[in-house]
Amino acid sequence: MEPTIEVRALRKRYRTTVAVDGLSFTVRAGEVTGFVGPNGAGKSTTMRLILGLDAPDEGEALVNGRPYRSLRTPLTQVGALLDASALHPGRRARDHLLWLAHSNGIGKRRVSEVLDQVGLASAARRRAAGFSLGMQQRLGIAAALLGDPPVLMFDEPVNGLDPDGIVWIRGLMRSLAAEGRAVLVSSHLMGELEDTADHLIAVGRGRLIADTSVAKLLAAASKDRVEVTTAQRAEATTVLANGGATVTVAGPETVVVEGLPGDRVSALLTEAAIPFSELRRHRASLEEAYMDLTRGAIEFAPETGAPATKGSVR
Ligand SMILES: Nc1ncnc2c1ncn2[C@@H]1O[C@H](COP(=O)(O)OP(=O)(O)OP(=O)(O)O)[C@@H](O)[C@H]1O
């Protein structure tokens, strides 16, 4: 059976707050799936429900086809980094991992391997109390990798990491997916997942906003947008806006034009005698694509055959 996380009609309410509101999605093997949405959208709650740390009011979450609580050696099925600071401050890094390994029937040698893999071998005998946030993140990732699980979940793993650490974690996610594992990684910042995620689950107020491949999302957001380089940016903006386009500044001599085909942009600028040196298709960033999504500007539906509904929030 392929490793997966399946979330089905999950719902969780805390007093007056509905944290997760009928959420369904699947995390597939061999992909990094980004789990995105603003602060408070319900990402961490969903991850806690998947790990059986909280019970849903409705629906279910399955890891490799089974509820987490029924897994016999869970660390060998799914590894997770939720709250990296949840460490016993007096415990040494290696002892923390040894304790986890022992509880899941994992040998000592694996502890040394994961400490090496996350770059903490030299800090193995230091106590967690002295760890920086970045080191805590690395130790949490080591714990997630301990059981060599086919499914991995990381909640905001980039928090606290320096630029080298960020590059490292992106590479790690990619290589885990390339090995055929199912990887779910949350972030409230879209840009963080650029170049990392293959697939995107976007949520808002506990509901699904999009379930789409990143490539499709970027292609849709790039469509009908051209980039123009001109020394007369202000004049070009006026002419193109009068021609019906939405124009945004993208650099000292660059504007992004939306809503007009490239040949029309070129014709309008030429008619107005505004020189321009370049006109090219704009490659949208994930941030822009997400803004489009939340404005309901592009159509997306889960890739399960359900019809697309314009700008719908399910
Ligand atoms: N234990 C709890 N008790 C009460 N309310 C909670 C609890 N856990 C989460 N919530 C509420 O549920 C909503 C969803 O929170 P959650 O932490 O899941 O969002 P999130 O998308 O992970 O946000 P962030 O990006 O800030 O981590 C929020 O309104 C939050 O205040």
Cα separation, 25 vs 28, whole angstroms: 10
Residue with CA nearest ligand 1 atom 16: 42
Residue 274 pLDDT > 60, yes or no?
A: yes
83 lines ligand 1 (CB under 6 A): no
E-assigned strands of the chain?
5-14, 17-27, 31-36, 58-63, 78-81, 151-155, 182-187, 199-204, 207-213, 225-229, 246-251, 254-258, 278-281
Complex ipTM, two decimals?
A: 0.96
Instruction: Please report, for the chain, the start and end positions of each structural domain, with discontinuous segments joined by +.
Output: 5-205, 219-286
Q: Which range has the top average pLDDT, 59-68, 85-94, 209-218?
A: 59-68
Q: Which two tokens stand for residue 163?
A: 């630029």
Cα separation, 115 vs 93, whole angstroms: 9
Ligand 1 centroid to Cα of residue 282, in Å, is: 36
Q: What are the tens digits of pLDDT across the range 199-223?
A: 999 998 899 999 999 988 888 888 7
CATH of 219-286, one of 3.20.20.80, 1.20.1050.10, 3.40.50.300, 3.30.70.100: 3.30.70.100
Ligand 1 centroid to Cα of residue 206, in Å, is: 9
Ligand 1 nearest-atom number relative to CA 203: 21
40 lines ligand 1 (CB under 6 A): yes
Q: What are the tens digits of pLDDT across the range 2-43?
A: 889 999 999 999 999 999 999 999 999 999 999 998 888 899
Q: 5-205 has which fold?
A: Rossmann fold (3.40.50)
Closest by Cα among 143, 147, 125, 41 to 85: 143
Ligand 1 centroid to Cα of residue 223, in Å, is: 35
